[in-house]
Structure 1
Amino acid sequence: MKRQLILEDGSIYIGTAFGSSREAKGEVVFTTGMAGYQETLSDPSYCDQIITFTYPLIGNYGINQEDFESIEPAASGVIVNEACMKPSHWQYTSTLDELLKVKDIPGVYGIDTRALTRRIRIHGTLKGRICSMEADKETVVKELKEQTLPTDQVEKVSTRSPYTLPGRGKRVVLVDFGAKRGILRELIERGCDVTVVPYHVTSDEILRLNPDGVMLSNGPGDPTDVPEAVEMLKAILGKIPVFGICLGHQLLGLACGARTTKMKFGHRGVNHPVKNIENGKVMITSQNHGYTVDTVGFNNLDLVITHIAINDETIEGYRHKTYPAFSVQFHPEASPGPTDSNELFDDFLKMMSSSKNEGVSTCQSV
């Protein structure tokens, strides 16, 4: 059965339907990873987005029970060039098509994803709708142009109530803005006692837990849509060590006086080179974000840039000059992606130990 993707600029891409039979709308983005489609699809940061996979064949090793980053994928739709319906892998338990049907996510294959990606790179991310061939183009385009992107994505994917993953090591509060399972895995592997809390947690609630450190997770959408998190961070900075990842990186920046801006088409994939300014090391990183901490006025803040993107020189990491706090825009948990930056979790543990031993607000270089 044929199905079409209509973009707000009036362009149409026709392919073959797979996955759920329903229509879907959302911001159309692209990711460049050659593998890791299961982790990508289940990353909460893709909430309300239609994911275009640039790699030409998706689904060839199927779906397994080990590689989910969340129980319920939040993506609106999937666009691929070729969808493999007969995967081959010893771990696979279902096909991509079967997963999309179970999770009620529509997909289209047979689309020229290179042409679609070029359009997004030229014009920026565009709103789109996956719909039947009977849908009227003019009506859909009009509705897309009038559509306002949602501002409640973090609320949709954050945990509803706190829960604990016991450990005998450092007590870490993980603020869940749409946390990937990989972040929890890295903390648990290091013996941390982890308490996961909702995005709207207050500073008083965190302080009552008496943690050794606070981790700010990844998540979807515009960081300015989560003002309660910014206020919470302003209140705990200097009192507890903080480590931010992705959306957490942007929120920490806002709390420190930085600005954030929307990127033309963002960074999404597992092959983004990042340079650590402090030691000259270049890492290949996994990324998924459409917003960035702005460089304008950044040098006037109590923050020091530690990492930059090689491709466009956007800020990829910074640390506070006085307080024990640092963050990175990329994903050191590498789910999917390379493990080049995994040591940042060890830096976080060292920061917590140092701050506890010294009893003062000092920040270790990362």
Structure 2
Amino acid sequence: MKLNRKGVTLTKMKISSKLLNIVKQNKSFIIAGHINPEGDAIGSALALALGLKKIGKKDICVLSRDGVPETLQFLPSAKLIKKRPPDKKYDVLFIVDCNTPERTGFRELKAGNTVIIDHHIPPADAGKSEFYRTLSAAVIDPGAAATGMLVYKFLSALKVPIDKDIATNLYTAILVDTGGFRYSNTSPESLMMACHLVGAGARPWDITKEIFESIPYKSMKLLGLSMATLDKKDNIAWITATREMFEKTGTTAEDSEDFVDFPRKVKGAEAAVFFREDEKGVFKLSLRSKGKVDVQKIAEGFGGGGHFAAAGCRIKGTLREVQRKVLTAVRKAIKEAT
């Protein structure tokens, strides 16, 4: 983004010639997003696949271990996404909206070149990692509001015309990761890019309706049970979803997407936590901040990661043990930040 007297203009991210050549010189591509995908992961992967098709690439596989969430099945070409990779070696592997192979949920994806397109902070040990040392290329910008923004710039560098289908996927990616353009990561550039995508055919209300106004009935039942656990102490608000709740409502982890947004709405809460029991003795945590607390550092302390205001991790233990550990860490972070 560039600010000048005439206002805001989109800047062209410098995409390495090496990466552009990797795309131009190869024929087969496999694209993988992270486990438990949301709009940025699915939208970015689909937009990238459609963009590659636009420049004549035909052998493209798009992967999501957990499939496409119900709320995202409206996206153009969502049916392209497979849950299992073909048993073949591809020329290029794109890892999208995450920064390690482990986050894709696939043990071995075979490719001659590996490329990351992501907006998360790289792992602390990235400099010593064999994986990072052997990367063919990367487009990583933790300052970007969504990976979809990086895919947009990458496709622009490849001179891919942005049509309605690509625009819809990219607009969804940015919409989701900015919380409907409400979060602190909503920048002039993200709004300008969204404007360009609307101009290319993305329909804001149609997309917003699918993402935010079409929650399945069973998900709402689960939310009701989870909200009954709402608690607040020391500027922290939190809720929990147990295996029993999932079984009672016939829901899965996918149905609890964005539940953490509700405790974050509590007045006086500087941080919010959603404790989701994925299996007995294993909890997936979603952490959110209203701007003072760096929840990425908290998550990193438990082997997770994310962004300053939104992060996550997985912890083993009983609910009481996990809550004690996490709330103690959050309490400490709030104290240090104020």
Q: Which has the bigger relative contact order, CA under 8 A and spacing at least 6?
A: 1
Structure having the larger proportion of residues in helix: 2
Q: Normalized against structure 1, the TM-score is what? A: 0.31
Structure having the larger proportion of residues in strand: 1
